[in-house]
Amino acid sequence: MKTIIAPSVLAADFANLQRDVEMINDSQADWFHIDIMDGAFVPNISFGIPVTEAINRHAKKPLDVHLMINNPDQYLEAFKNAGAEMISVHIEACTHLHRTIQKIKELGCWAGVAVNPHTSITLLEDIIEDLDYVCLMSVNPGFGGQKFIEKTYDKIRALKKMIDEKGSKARIQIDGGVDEGNAAKLIEAGASILVAGSYVFKNENPKLAIEKIKI
């Protein structure tokens, strides 16, 4: 089973969004990764529902919406209607995570939980069987182009062990600082979904960059 590659549109040229969406359509990428930031949960604001809808009008591949926002429950339906097929929420932003995950599933989307670098994955023990994927943040969320945190490899291995022991179907997604220098090692550790922003969009040849990490 080949790794799922999800280029992060955050690093695209917003003034040429249709062109960049079509580049992803024509590439070996599998999903569009859509980073939603509210300026409260994370110290940055990206874009919201209308831009997600606009991307979806041209995208020929599923949208994976990463909600870096407080109170995500309030917006799940709106993002589903905007085209989301996968939705991840932050464990740090959800007081009633089980309820939030059930809501995502009721909407017919893949349900994911994103985990900040400082958050222990042991907090996933009682929810892992309900998840379609776990997004392990390998940078502090809020910005593209940050340095990959090496500790992530240990977290992937520990999470993989938990997933196998619990018989969960959850996949491990890595988000932040992914490039051709670490992709193989991440997959070897147990990741099967790679998000990549700057590496893809700042590359001279974005389609080839995608091919190189689709291992």
- The CA distance from 63 to 61, in Å, is 7
Going residue by residue from 159 to 178, which x/- string records binding to Zn ion, judged by CB under 5 A? ----------------x---
Position among 65, 67, 76, 139 found at the interface with ligand DX5 (CB under 6 A): 139
Name the 3-class secondary structure at 67. Answer: strand
Residue 116 interacts with which of Zn ion, ligand DX5, none, CB < 5 to 8 Å by class: none
Kindly state the smallest distance separating residue 179's Cβ from ligand DX5, in Å. 8
Specify the stretch interacting with ligand DX5 by CB under 6 A; choose among 54-62, 122-130, 134-142, 183-191.
134-142
Order of all β-strands in the sheet with 32-37? 4-7, 193-196, 171-175, 133-137, 110-115, 84-90, 63-68, 32-37
Task: Give whichever of 47 and 166 is closer to ligand DX5, judged by the CB atom.
Answer: 47
- Choose, from 35, 38, 64, 130, the residue flagged as catalytic: 35
Radius of gyration of the CA atoms of the chain, in A: 16
- Choose, from 20, 30, 64, 175, the residue flagged as catalytic: 175
Position among 67, 178, 194, 213 found at the interface with ligand DX5 (CB under 6 A): 178
**Tokens, residue 8:** 């992060």
Q: Where are the beta strands (DSSP E) in the chain?
A: 4-7, 32-37, 63-68, 84-90, 110-115, 133-137, 171-175, 193-196
Scan residues 64-83 and list those touching ligand DX5 (CB under 6 A). Answer: 66
Is 90 an interacting residue with respect to ligand DX5 (CB under 6 A)?
A: no
Find tokens 């009682």 and name the residue. 126
User: Crossing angle for the helix pair 17-25 and 49-58, nearest 10 degrees?
Assistant: 50
Listed residue (142, 130, 127) closest to 40, CA to CA: 142
Task: Give whichever of 15 and 167 is closer to ligand DX5, judged by the CB atom.
Answer: 15
Is 35 an interacting residue with respect to Zn ion (CB under 5 A)?
A: yes
Position among 20, 38, 52, 66 found at the interface with Zn ion (CB under 5 A): 66
Position among 3, 8, 56, 152 found at the interface with ligand DX5 (CB under 6 A): 8
Is residue 94 within 8 Å of residue 65, measured between CB atoms? no
Per CB under 6 A, residues contacting ligand DX5 are: 8, 10-11, 33, 35, 66, 139, 141-146, 175-178, 195-199
Catalytic residues: 35, 175
